[in-house]
């Protein structure tokens, strides 16, 4: 179903061909973690939710893959956080951005930013263009299926980055402050539920959840999970 969604998204001018390749890479890593949300992803979801609830200007970055794979989930999270969805594309064209914004609105989104009037320094080409009231002004950015260069550029701008990426070795996964190694359609509803649950918590409690999370260590545990799983599958356990 996901592949069909992406193919339809391509035919409708929302997903790019490179997005289909990216999805294939994601699937390969999903097989390695066992196609389920692992405990390490749940820890990152908890920390990511704390960061988003604590944020004064959170923004959810949407690209051609995420818009097509999980529009409803993006809208629900945007509502729960009262945060805008910003269409931010690696392979940007005005037409693609507009189509994706309309697609999100058809799924109920009320706050969609897609016109660019600001630039991220240190990035070449169309990837640098953002909205001045969205990503540019934000303090925390949630992104998924993202390119490493842009993740780094956001970090350099002082943003806290929460990333969803199935590849624990990708530059995005390595450079983000909080990396949820999980499939985006599985992770988003869990993140929304966690955000709703944390909205009653004090800033101190949220800060202590954040402080207790170490991204490098968590990514190490994800790799350890994969190693264990491969040993079991190859019949070498014990
Ligand atoms: O729509 P655009 O123009 O912004 O382009 C988007 C793509 C996906 C082409 C662009 O962001 C890109 O090239 O990304 P990368 O560098 O290929 O990185 C994508 C990462 O997302 C890889 O590490 C994949 O393993 C991972 N990934 C792919 N599908 C999923 C995923 N992670 C979570 N859930 C998925 N469904």
Q: What is the pLDDT of residue 202?
A: 97
> Ligand 1 pocket by C-beta < 6 Å: which residues?
16, 18-19, 22-23, 25-26, 29, 63-65, 69, 89-91, 144-147, 164-167, 170, 183-184
d(CA 201, CA 115): 35
Ligand 1 atom 25: residue of nearest CA: 26
Cβ-Cβ contacts under 8 Å for 69 (sequence gap 6 or more): 2, 5, 6, 184, 185
The ligand 1 atom at the shortest distance from the C-alpha of residue 146 is 11
Q: What confidence tens digit (pLDDT) does each residue in 63-89 have?
A: 999 999 999 999 999 999 999 999 999
Under 8 Å between Cβ of 86 and 53: no
pTM beyond cutoff 0.85? yes
Distance 172 CA to ligand 1 centre (A): 10
Domains and CATH numbers, the chain: 2-233 (3.40.50.12640)
What would the mean pLDDT of 133-138 be, rounded to a whole number?
Answer: 96
Residue 238 reports pLDDT greater than 60: no
What would the mean pLDDT of 126-149 be, rounded to a whole number?
Answer: 93
Residue 1 reports pLDDT greater than 60: yes
Q: What is the pLDDT of residue 237?
A: 64
Residue 121 reports pLDDT greater than 90: no
The ligand 1 atom at the shortest distance from the C-alpha of residue 18 is 9
Among 87, 135, 145, 226, which residue has the most ligand 1 atoms within 8 Å of its CB, making it the best to mutate? Answer: 145
Alpha-carbon Rg for the chain in angstroms: 17
Distance 225 CA to ligand 1 centre (A): 22
Under 8 Å between Cβ of 144 and 68: no
Under 8 Å between Cβ of 144 and 165: yes
Cβ-Cβ contacts under 8 Å for 59 (sequence gap 6 or more): 83, 84, 86, 113, 134, 135, 138, 140, 141, 142
In the predicted model, what is the mean pLDDT of the chain? 95
Q: Provide the β-strand partners of residue 121.
A: none
Under 8 Å between Cβ of 181 and 166: yes
């Amino acid at each position: 179903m996901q592949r069909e969604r992406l193919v339809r998204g391509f035919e409708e001018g929302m997903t790019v061909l490179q997005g289909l390749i990216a999805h294939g890479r994601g699937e390969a890593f999903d097989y390695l973690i066992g196609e389920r949300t692992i405990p390490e992803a749940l820890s990152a979801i908890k920390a990511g939710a704390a960061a988003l609830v604590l944020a004064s200007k959170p923004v959810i970055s949407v690209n051609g893959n995420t818009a097509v794979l999980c529009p409803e989930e993006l809208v629900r999270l945007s509502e729960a956080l009262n945060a805008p969805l910003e269409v931010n594309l690696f392979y940007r064209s005005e037409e693609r951005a507009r189509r994706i914004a309309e697609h999100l609105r058809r799924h109920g989104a009320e706050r969609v930013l897609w016109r660019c009037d600001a630039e991220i320094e240190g990035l070449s080409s169309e990837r640098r263009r953002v909205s001045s009231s969205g990503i540019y002004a934000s303090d925390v950015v949630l992104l998924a299926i993202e390119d490493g260069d842009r993740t780094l550029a956001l970090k350099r701008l002082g943003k806290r980055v929460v990333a969803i990426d199935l590849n624990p070795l990708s530059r995005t996964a390595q450079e983000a402050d909080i990396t949820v190694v999980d499939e985006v359609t599985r992770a988003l509803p869990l993140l929304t539920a966690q955000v709703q649950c944390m909205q009653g918590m004090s800033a101190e409690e949220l800060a202590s959840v954040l402080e207790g999370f170490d991204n490098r260590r968590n990514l190490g545990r994800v790799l350890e999970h994969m190693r264990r799983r491969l040993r079991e599958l190859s019949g070498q356990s014990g």
